[in-house]
Amino acid sequence: MTTYIIRRLLYTIPIVLGVLLLTFVLFTVVGGDVSIEIAGKNATPETIEEIREEYGLNKPLFLSWDSQFINHFKSALTFDFGRARDRELVVDKIKRGVWPSLALTVPMFFGVLIISVSLALVVAFVRGSAWDVFAVVVCVAGMSIPYLSFILLGQYFFAYKLGLFPIFFSPDLSMAEYVALPVLIGIVTGLGANVRFYRTVMLDEIRSDYVRTAFAKGLDARRVLFKHVLKNAMIPIITRVVLAIPFLFLGSLLLERFFGIPGLGYLMIEAIGSRDYFVINAMTYISAILFVIFNVITDICYGLVDPRISFD
Amino acid sequence: MIKRRLTNSEQPKGRSLWQDGLKRLGRRKLAMVCFAVIVLYFLLAGFIYFAELIDWQVGPIRWQEEVGGAYEGPSSQNKFGTDIFGQSVLRKTLYGAKISITVALCASFISIVIGVPLGTIAGYYRGVVDEIIVWVYSTLSSIPYILLILAFAVVLRDKTLFGFKLTGITSVYLAIGLTSWVGLCRLIRGEVIKHKEREYVLAAKSYGCSGARIIFRHLLPNVFHLIIIDFSLRFVAFIHAEVILSFLGLGEATRPSWGVMINDARIELSRGVWWQMVAATAAIFFISLALNIFGDALRDAIDPRLRKAA
Amino acid sequence: MSENSLALSIQGLGVSFFTEDGIARAVQDVSFSVKKGETFALVGESGCGKSVTALSIMRLIPQPPGKIVSGDIVFDNRSLLELSEKRMRGIRGNKIAMIFQEPMTSLNPVYTVGNQIVEAIRLHQKKSENQAWADAVDMLRKVGISEPEQRVNEYPHQMSGGMRQRVMIAMAVSCQPQLLIADEPTTALDVTIQAQILDLLDDLQKQNGMSILLITHDLAIVAERADNVAVMYASRIVEIAESKQLFQEPLHPYTKGLLKSLPRLGLGREVKRLQTISGTVPDPLHFPAGCKFHPRCSVGCSDKRCQGIEPELREVGNGRHVACWYAQGYETEEEIKEYESKYGKK
């Protein structure tokens, strides 16, 4: 199995290189020379030149050992992402933003997972009945309402009107307090698509031949569902769940923006507003690495759960 | 002795998978209602586009006109009320349809134009070409979708590419289109690889069909239904992406879009002004719902794998 | 025939599927009986309704869109259709067991073979975990799997097709059922393995005295293994007879056609082409009027009665049944007269 892991990890190298190339092309080549923006409106040509020197923007793009691309590459490997527009180290900003983001996404993740798998099981159990149809209708309707509106309405009703939750983040609030409403909203919005997905997975398994055999042995519906169907359904479910983990670190862009939570999502939004390429670049690179690593972990989990997969 | 061949009119009319599927789809009333809704939105968008082109000053075009005081509630005169500038919310909502549909269509077009050829080439020719294409889309797909779109949108905004200055909307649909072709490409590639080994392709090869001919005549018609299904399911995602981008200020700032309206609503709600929010949400909701239901029905009707054997 | 010698009796069974394309009457007015200890074959082409009949006995028809619309199924002097679901579960896998066509997909891929057999044992018998596992190993040995102690911990994908089918059989007979329904048990297997599996079923039958309802489209198997045969066509039974009699003297045109189409070696130069029955099996959503076979029948395709009135299944002497206006001994005197007055002499 170790050879498998090593092989998979080796495969990730070209991907990471690809990401670095992509971010470079995007932010440096297409994005262009940001020195003018950094310098500000009334900068003199000398200041601009200084900035270019400092950021290494006066070096050739590709064709030298000291080219911008090589430097981009080097700094990525050392996780040295430079400074944001406000001169703070990007790495520090990220370190600060991780915890509030996790405080938001982790409860959301577990909430959505437990509730949607349970709901999907229930719905698969009563498949074809009016409850099933109702569930599907609710899911589809939920998926059709724009995420933005959900958040806005949730914030308006439960925080502003009913005063049950604080509207905005403020440093004197405890984590539980300022995270409660966003997490609730996040869970509700996430249920729609997830319940539908898990329901489809369950129904696919229920239609299998081995389910027919299980019933022919005399098993009751509950046991067939929980023992036979669930274990097989676990395979695609685990894949989806493990792959979702890297996204936990990114925080939720919109929720953080609406509620003013100072996490990584908020950081991104700010960076977009101020066109801070360094921050965006750093976030993109980190999330790609996380994603790629968790892909490998997913494959391994998949192999552990499905006895048909062997690692050679 | 050669028996007489049946003439065209005598041959029994077979039903292709398509006709079968579409017939089945037509029978489902809900799907047809949704289709009507979709057509309605498209017609509206097309109408506004056309009207702008010839400068025909109908209602929605004149969204900038002051029709009342600021923040007037819905009345018989202004059915959806007015916004902070006294502009008609109804007109803005209708105009927003044009923006969303246009963006989604352009993005879909870009996605298909990139994804389908790349997927087909990768799947059919395999080898180095395949490795490269897979590398490209693996790279793109390792960055979270929203992040990727945002990154593209931020960078492309106000840039001049090949002599064209990118206006707000253009950067939006470029951003969406350039990042969303991956799913389709993967799908097509997978199907082409599967079909490549099927007997009918081997048969075609054996009587001398060239690669291009095999692709166009044999393979593409068999994956066409996947393209249609993918298109209908992605369209919703594109509309939502446009709304989010506009909300964040990355889209067209000078013209009304549902995302911008929702952004305005953030402040408005605290003042008790709810009509812009409701209008934009409702507009998005109905087209999304229609697309979701229709897309599902389409997939159920056309995808042969889902049909149970007799 | 006393009721005690019957393992299973199906009377007038009707099963329909209510789909969005219309009502498909998959099984209509099906009646036959299986004696204790015998092998009864239900023969027919794909889509004729034989699998649906089998699943109905187990009450495993998916309830929407399917439904048992008429008839009764009597097993062990009880009507199966009137039993509560709970009691029916007590019968499934226990008194009546079923094996299916595709052993790969019919076994759960994520559990070991032993686990699945033990599940069946512990469900219906009061045995401890250890006892059940010992039984499972025993069953594997009985069905001819070598090294059962190792095999019992293997997964289905680690076994060959023939072995998997043996596992299915082991699972099915683990509780010594009175009736085993075998739905195309050998269709997915190689010819050499087919014979082994059928021999195995024969042996188990002799050991346990169980009845076997063998569902197949393969007439060769029927000739070798079945005691009695029922031929199904387009949702109906068209002929029932003892196996030997069926092959020597088929009464229904469909049966005759089937037998003629069997390739046979050693006939020399007389037979040049394989005989086929022209036409195709009708779509269950659009059955022809009258006798369902008449469009393809060499005798009755232009007969007005065959086109208009469906012949019911009738006994024509010493246990034989047939449903055909042209079968020997089928029509009553009045019917012959009526026909001749309407249409003239045949």
What is the rounded distance in angstroms from the CA atom of residue B261 to the CA atom of residue B265? 6
A 10 A CB-CB count for B235 gives: 23
Q: Which residue of C has its CA nearest to A228?
A: C108
C-alpha to C-alpha distances, C182 to A251, C53, C58, nearest whole angstrom: 56, 12, 12
For C40-82, write each residue's pLDDT tens digit. Answer: 999 998 888 899 999 999 999 887 788 999 999 999 888 999 9
Return the pLDDT at B162: 67
Is the confidence at residue C246, as pLDDT, over 70?
A: yes
**Side-by-side strand order, sheet with C321-322:** C96-99, C179-183, C211-216, C39-43, C228-233, C236-242, C321-322, C314-315
A223: amino acid identity, one letter: R
pLDDT of B40: 92
C64 near B CB under 8 A:
no
d(CA B55, CA B58) in angstroms, rounded, equals: 9
- All residues of chain C having their beta carbon less than 8 Å from the beta carbon of residue A219 are 89, 93, 119, 123
Say if CB C8 and CB C74 are below 8 A apart. yes
CB contact under 8 A, A284 and B265: no
Closest among C236, C246, C234 to C296, alpha carbons compared: C234
Q: Shortest CA distance to B262 belongs to which of B251, A225, B296?
A: B251
With CB atoms and an 8 Å threshold, state whether C92 touches A208.
no
The C-alpha atoms of residue C175 and residue C120 are separated, in whole angstroms, by 8
C282 interfacial to chain B (CB closer than 8 Å): no
Question: Which chains form contacts with chain B, at 3 or more CB pairs under 8 Å?
Answer: A, C
C94 touches chain A (CB under 8 A): yes
- Tell me how far apart the alpha carbons of residues C107 and C156 are, in angstroms, rounded to a whole number: 7
Partners of C157 on chain A (C-beta within 8 Å) are 307-308
Instruction: Tell me the chain A residues in contact with residue B246 when contact means C-beta distances shorter than 8 Å.
Output: none
Q: Which of B132, B133, B128 is nearest to B115 (CA)?
A: B133
Q: Return d(Cα B292, Cα B235) in angstroms, integer.
A: 9
Rounded CA gap, B84 and C224, in Å? 89
Do C316 and C335 contact (CB within 8 A), yes or no? Answer: no
Q: Which SS3 state, helix, strand or coil, does residue B162 take? A: coil
Average pLDDT, chain C: 88
Q: What number of other Cβ atoms are within 10 A of residue C127's Cβ? A: 14
Nearest CA in chain A to B246: A148
Helix (H), strand (E) at residue B40 = helix B29-53
Interface residues from chain A to C (CB-CB < 8 Å): 128, 208-210, 212-220, 228, 231-232, 305-308
- How is residue C31 written in tokens? 């009646």
CB B193, CB B222: distance < 8 Å? no
d(CA A209, CA C107): 8
Residue C282 confidence (pLDDT): 87
Tokens of B253: 């700032």
Contact C284 B310 (CB under 8 A): yes
Q: Which CA distances in Å does C253 have to C232, C233, C324?
A: 12, 11, 8
| ipTM reported for the complex, 2 dp | 0.87
* Number of other CB atoms surrounding residue A83 within 10 Å: 18
How do residues A43-83 score in pLDDT, each as one tens digit?
777 777 777 777 777 777 676 666 777 777 888 778 777 77
How far, in Å, CA of C37 to CA of A121, rounded?
A: 42
Any chains having at least 3 CB pairs less than 8 A from chain C are A, B
**Count of CB pairs separated by less than 8 Å, B with C:** 7
Q: Which of C102, C105, C157 sits opposite A308 (nearest CB)?
A: C157
Burial (CB < 10 A; 0-12, 13-18, 19+), residue A285, is: buried
Report chain B residues touching chain C, CB-CB < 8 A: 24, 27-28, 310
CA distance C120 to chain A (A): 6
CATH fold group of domain B26-306: MetI-like fold (1.10.3720)
Cα angle A34, A38, A42; round to 5: 115
> From the candidates A207, A213, A219, A237, which should be mutated to test the interface with C, based on the most C CB atoms within 10 A?
A213
Q: Give pLDDT, residue C199.
A: 92
Under an 8 A CB cutoff, do C102 and A209 touch?
yes
Structure token pair of residue A82? 């430079």
- Residue B90 and residue B280 in contact, taking contact as beta carbons nearer than 8 Å: no
Please indicate whether, in this complex, the C-beta atoms of C91 and A231 are within 8 angstroms of each other: no
Omega of the bond leading into A45 within 30 degrees of 0 (cis): no
Q: How far is B124 from chain A (nearest CA, A)?
A: 23
How many whole angstroms separate alpha carbon A219 and alpha carbon A212?
10
Q: Which of C89, C105, C157 sits opposite A209 (nearest CB)?
A: C105
Residue B170: predicted pLDDT: 81
How many interchain CB pairs under 8 A, A with C? 70
Chains touching A (at least 3 CB pairs under 8 A) are B, C
pLDDT at A39: 67
The label of the residue with tokens 């005989």 reads: C275
The verdict on a CB contact (< 8 Å) between B27 and C20 is yes
Structure tokens at B49: 């586009």
Residues from chain A contacting residue B250 (CB–CB below 8 Å): 272
In this structure, the number of other CB atoms found within 10 A of the CB of residue A309 comes to 13
* Closest chain B CA to residue C48: B310
Nearest-by-Cβ selection for A152 from B248, B249, B277: B277
Nearest Cα residue in chain C from A229? C108
Q: Which helix (H) or strand (E) holds B165?
A: strand B164-165
The alpha carbon of residue C248 and the mean position of all alpha carbons in its chain are separated, in whole angstroms, by: 21
pTM, full prediction = 0.80
* DSSP-based three-state secondary structure for B82: strand
Residue-wise pLDDT tens for chain B (310 aa)?
444 554 544 444 445 666 666 777 777 788 889 999 999 999 988 888 888 888 877 767 777 777 666 677 777 667 777 777 778 888 888 888 988 999 999 999 999 999 999 998 888 888 899 999 999 998 898 888 888 888 888 888 777 666 666 677 788 888 888 889 998 999 889 888 888 777 777 777 777 777 777 777 777 777 887 888 888 888 999 999 888 888 888 877 778 889 888 888 888 887 777 888 888 999 999 999 999 888 888 877 776 554 433 2
Per-residue three-class SS string for chain C: CCHHHEEEEEEEEEEEEEECCEEEEEEEEEEEEEECCCEEEEECCCCCCHHHHHHHHCCCCCCCCEEEEEEEEEECCEEHHHCCHHHHHHHECCCEEEECCCHHHHCCCCCCHHHHHHHHHHHHCCCCHHHHHHHHHHHHHHCCCCCHHHHCCCCHHHCCHHHHHHHHHHHHHCCCCCEEEEECCCCCCCHHHHHHHHHHHHHHHHHHCCEEEEEECCHHHHHHHCCEEEEEECCEEEEEEEHHHHHHCCCCHHHHHHHHCCCCCCCCCCCCCCCCCCCCCCCCCCCCCCCCCHHHCCCCCCCHHHHHCCCCCEECCCCCEECCCCCCCCCCHHHHHHHHHHHCCC
Extract the tokens encoding C307: 């086109």
**Which pLDDT belongs to residue A162?**
79
Secondary structure of residue B300 in the 3-state scheme: helix
Beta-carbon separation of C60 and A215 below 8 A: yes
Contact yes or no for C47 and B24 at CB 8 A? no
**Å from A278 to nearest chain C CA?**
48
C75 touches C96 (CB < 8 A): yes
Query: Across the interface, which of A30, A148, A295 has its CB nearest the CB of B155?
Result: A30
Helices B17-26 and B29-53 sit at what angle, rounded to 10 degrees?
100
Chain B residues closer than 8 Å to A13 by CB: none
Looking at the DSSP bridge assignments, the partners of residue C11 are C72
Domain chopping of chain B, boundaries = 26-306
CB contact under 8 A, C93 and A217: yes
Q: Which two tokens stand for residue A80?
A: 């040295």
Cross-chain Cβ contact C20/B24 below 8 Å = yes
Read off the pLDDT of residues C103-128 as tens digits, 9 standing for 90 and up.
889 999 999 999 999 999 999 998 99
Cβ pair B135:A18 closer than 8 A? yes
Q: Which of residues 283-302 of C touch B (CB under 8 A)?
A: 283-284
Instruction: Write the secondary structure of chain A as one string of H (helix), E (strand) and C (coil).
Output: CHHHHHHHHHHHHHHHHHHHHHHHHHHHHHCCCCHHHHHCCCCCHHHHHHHHHHHCCCCCCCCCCCCHHHHHHHHHHCCCCCECCCCCEHHHHHHHHHHHHHHHHHHHHHHHHHHHHHHHHHHHHCCCCHHHHHHHHHHHHHHHCCHHHHHHHHHHHHHHHCCCCCCCCCCCCCHHHHHHHHHHHHHHHHHHHHHHHHHHHHHHHHCCHHHHHHHHCCCCHHHHHHHHHHHHHHHHHHHHHHHHHHHHCCCCHHHHHHHCCCCHHHHHHHHHHCCCHHHHHHHHHHHHHHHHHHHHHHHHHHHHHCCCCCCC
- Per run of 10 residues, the mean pLDDT along chain A (length 312 residues) is 83 88 81 69 74 72 71 79 76 86 90 91 79 84 88 84 78 80 89 87 87 93 89 86 83 85 87 83 87 86 80 60
Residue type, position C234, single letter = A
Do residue A231 and residue C60 have CB atoms under 8 angstroms apart?
Answer: no
Give me the residues paired with residue C79 across strands: C74
Please choose, from the candidates A117, A116, A95, A98, the residue with its C-alpha nearest in 3D space to the C-alpha of residue A106: A98
Encoded tokens for C55: 């699943």
Phi, psi of C28 (to 5 degrees): -130, 125
Q: Do A280 and B154 touch (CB under 8 A)?
A: yes
For residue C68, what are the β-bridge partners?
A: C15
| CB of C224 closer than 8 Å to CB of C39 | no
